[in-house]
Amino acid sequence: MEYYNYIKALHLIFVITWFAGLFYIPRLFIYHIEAAQKPEPENHILTRQLKLMTKRLWYIITWPSAILASLFAFWLLFINPAWLKMDWMLVKLGFVLLLYLYHGKCHLIFKELQRDVIKWNSNQMRMWNEVSTLILFAVVFLVIVKDAVNWIYGVVGIFLLAGMLMLGIKVYKRLRSKNPEL
């Protein structure tokens, strides 16, 4: 068991880098969507650079981090299978499944944007960007508090957080309409 803390540390490191990728990739999507609306040659130059940045982030950081975070998580569960009998862990694994669904949808959006297929506007993408934040809050609180019975209060809190994030996006949109440099 002397290596347990090393495995746990590696799991946490790759969870952090996975979330970093999931936080940044929608920002790049937003920039790509907005660049597509610019006149030539700015459109072409920005879009080409954003495609390259997105591809590197996705395949060099985000995907490897997701895989490594999961491998270390499975290893931790193998070492301590009793966790699978704990309610908080089962709820956490449900949120991890949601995170993988989010990751999968981001991958589909990534593939579309690489082909110059734009189905989202920048405001929709700003809201989509907050989904990973909500999942992060849920998982961190579950892991720290370890109480799946009261997770309903946490879900209410997450919805309140989502409301605050949406309000923040609307305020930002208003400020940006008055000052496009924001």
- 11 known member of a binding site: yes
Q: How many separate helices (H) and strands (E) can be counted in the chain?
A: 7, 0
Burial readout 12-49 (b: 16 or more C-beta within 10 A, e: otherwise): eebbebbbebbebbbebbbbbbebbeeeeeeeeebbee
Whose CA is closest to 25, among 112, 92, 98?
112
Answer whether 161's CB lies under 8 Å from 134's CB. Answer: yes
Give the integer Cα–Cα distance in Å for 59 and 13: 17
- 107 known member of a binding site: no
Known binding-site residues for heme equal 11, 92
Known binding-site residues equal 11, 92
